[in-house]
Structure 1
Amino acid sequence: MKKTLLSVAAAMAVAATTVATAGTAHAATVWTVSPGQSIQAAVDAAQPGDTIQLAAGTYQESVQVVKDNITIKGAGSGTDGTVLTPPAAFPDNHCGSHQAGICFRGTVDGTDGPTSHATSFVTGGRVTGVRIDGFRVGISLSATDGTRADGNTVLNSGSYGVTDTVSKNSTIGANVISDAARAAIYVGNYNIPASHTVVTGNKVIRSAYGISSYDSSGVDVTRNAVSGSCSGFFSFSDSYRVPGGELLNVANNAFTSNNANCPGQYGFPQAVQGSGVILVGATHATVQQNAVSGNIGPDPMSGGIVVVTSHTFDPADPTEEGDISVTSNVLHGNGPADLVWDGAGSGITFTYNACGTSSPSGLCSAS
């Protein structure tokens, strides 16, 4: 079934006529929205299972989804597709308070930070084919389960390109993200041990900490390309809040020339520059089959793949880093070294890595 949204009132009237099938099942509806019409009105009128189809053109909105299984589908993420830019005034809701473009939002008993818990999840849902430009946060997934953000372009975010917080089983894939002030993609699923988040096939350019995860478990970072940032992938204290949580897996990515300079900021005191992969206080992690080159900087966390304790930066952090495998990576032209380890932790292994330099020496398996 397909509907065209003419106004809020008309949308609500049309939604009321949607025909149910099989007794209680909702017949999925496609709501078509054109420039000048309201995406939020279509979302508000939609029922779980519906699709919001956005025509090509520019929309000035911040859109919040608090229902299950809603798809927002643009006409493509190029300049001639669906373009979302900030409104003159943001709405009075979670999405608006974060100055975000598109938000999927469940219920959280905190502020989406490390001490927060989701009390109810928005399940399913997807945003795809949208070009999102100039928001503080491009796409926010908060207290969601099984939500997808894929095939989008996210530009010029004042904070993050895509955030995935207090959520589980998300897929963030095949997006192009550039010029995010903090990180292009940020995963913080915190107190959720049963999560499995997939970050795959994204292209990230000039976005501070590139792809990052904090206090998270069950994160797969695969087949992404990150360049021109301060770091390619940055993990801090992952898994310590959820002992026994699934693995952090960083595999088959390309981290190239991430030589921008991020001074100590956002509560993290250490400057970051010229880092391919950084694991700070990580546990249960594998870094494998990545191509890491040309990441050069002067800081303690500079280099190709860097494994360091979190105690240096946060003495109160209870993490005991360990069970980390760095294997079968190809590294060259990184400085001060291709592989860097501060010697802390237990069960940390470096095997079959093709590289030329390491600190301490002897971590490379081939030159």
Structure 2
Amino acid sequence: MTKRQMIYLACAAGLLATGLGAAPSADLTIVHRVTPGESIQEAVNAARPGDTVVLSPGTYRESVRITTSDVTLRGSGPGTVLVPGAASDSTCATAGHGICVTGTADSSVTGVTVRALTLRGFAKNGLWASRTDRLAVRGVTSEKNGQWGIALERSLRSALSHNVARDNGDAGLFVSNTIDEEAGALDTKGTAVHHNLLAGNRVGVTVRRLRNVSVDHNEATGNCSAVFLVGDETTPRAGALSVRHNYIHANNKYCAKTPRLPFLQGSGIVLTGVEKSVVTKNLVQDNVGASPLSGGIVLFKSFVGALNESNDIRDNVVLRNGTADLANRDTAGRDNTFRGNTCAVSEPAGLC
């Protein structure tokens, strides 16, 4: 008899004894508790929709894959730490990720929550999610991972909140349409990236080839670039993005050039190849560098030729950034507006 069956029968007996019902609920959910030395993956495999897997404080040397909808994986705070374990044949571990939340082309994984734990030192990504709907990642620290701290593709209505992403090889938070093929921008139907701390990464937040994403109330400091909104020549175009109420300061780390980008240093908010997006009420200061992408808020032509169009840059405080507080370096872009901003230096002059 399984643990679930024993609890189910115990509840049924209690109900019958008290006269509260003749039959137990079919919606009984279980809390699976795991301590260091035990397998998280075994508990996740046993979980059914509605169940919660709770991790005690301590270090767990494994990767975990979640493919069941409406499951919560909850640590006990930053002291619950996942690090790479011994060689494993699991697809998540083999790929170099800490936690994987993955659906299929035919069926998304919905309603998964990951919260209150630390992911450290994985070769690829701390948390990787693909083909999800309503994924919530909250209170997670993802640090010193080889590529991205927390990364999503092909996912809708995600919520990334109150996380710390630091010292990752590329973006602290990365949300994208897809990473393995050329495709038009995906409408996320309201993905929200808010109240996160992003420090010491190559890029704090990258939003790539998406529509309907909000980035708000985050703090980004010590990165090479704080926020990157990236589009390209495909359709639908990337856009309908919102960047509001963020505190972006001293993102002056130096990152060497790549085959796609020049070196990065001193970039606050960069828009490249996006449309109909709003950047408003952000505090952007002390981001200083000499890269073509350096500056407080920068519009830059996409490296594949896509233009910025109909973006609204307004009511921001943008000070002490170099080479400029506001920079429109996408001279062919159309209908981009700068209004109501507090700044000192702009390219071209007259944007402040």
Q: TM-score, normalised by structure 2?
A: 0.89
Structure 2 equivalent of residue 363 of structure 1: 351
Structure 2 equivalent of residue 87 of structure 1: 85
Structure 1 equivalent of residue 149 of structure 2: 161
CA separation of 1:323 and 1:18: change in aligned 2, threshold 3 A: farther
How many pairs does the alignment contain? Answer: 332
Structure 1 runs of 4+ aligned residues shifted over 6 Å read 20-24
Structure 1 equivalent of residue 17 of structure 2: none
The within-5 A match list for 1:130-169 is 130-135=117-122, 136-169=124-157
1:178 to 160, 163, 166: 166
Q: Unmatched 5+ residue regions in structure 2?
A: 13-22, 179-184
- Does structure 2 conserve the Cα–Cα contact (< 8 Å) formed by 1:240 and 1:283? no
Structure 2 equivalent of residue 340 of structure 1: 327
Structure 1 equivalent of residue 256 of structure 2: 263
Structure 2 equivalent of residue 331 of structure 1: 318
Q: Does 1:293 align with 2:285?
A: yes
Over aligned residues, Cα RMSD in angstroms?
2.0
CA separation of 1:277 and 1:239: change in aligned 2, threshold 3 A: farther
Structure 2 equivalent of residue 6 of structure 1: none
Deviations 1:120-164 (A, max 9, x none): 210001111101111121111211000111111111111110001
Deviations 1:232-276 (A, max 9, x none): 101110795435x772001100111111122222x4132221100
CA separation of 1:238 and 1:51: change in aligned 2, threshold 3 A: farther
- Does structure 2 conserve the Cα–Cα contact (< 8 Å) formed by 1:15 and 1:46? no
State the AA in 1 paired with 2:128.
S
- Which one has the largest radius of gyration? 2
State the AA in 2 paired with 1:292.
V
Measured in 2, the distance between the counterparts of 1:334 and 1:281 equals 22
Measured in 2, the distance between the counterparts of 1:271 and 1:88 equals 36
Measured in 1, the distance between the counterparts of 2:277 and 2:26 equals 43
State the AA in 2 paired with 1:19.
Y
Per-residue deviation, 1:97: 3.0
2:207 to 213, 216, 224: 213
Per-residue deviation, 1:25: 3.9
CA separation of 1:103 and 1:229: change in aligned 2, threshold 3 A: same
Measured in 1, the distance between the counterparts of 2:121 and 2:304 equals 33
Q: TM-score, normalised by structure 1?
A: 0.86
**Further displaced range: 63-72 or 81-90:** 81-90
Measured in 2, the distance between the counterparts of 1:154 and 1:89 equals 21
Identity of paired residues, percent?
Answer: 36
State the AA in 2 paired with 1:202.
N
The within-5 A match list for 1:1-367 is 13-17=2-6, 19=8, 25-77=26-78, 81-93=79-91, 95-107=92-104, 118-135=105-122, 136-190=124-178, 191-237=185-231, 241-243=235-237, 247-265=240-258, 267-310=259-302, 313-315=303-305, 319-342=306-329, 343-364=331-352
State the AA in 1 paired with 2:150.
V
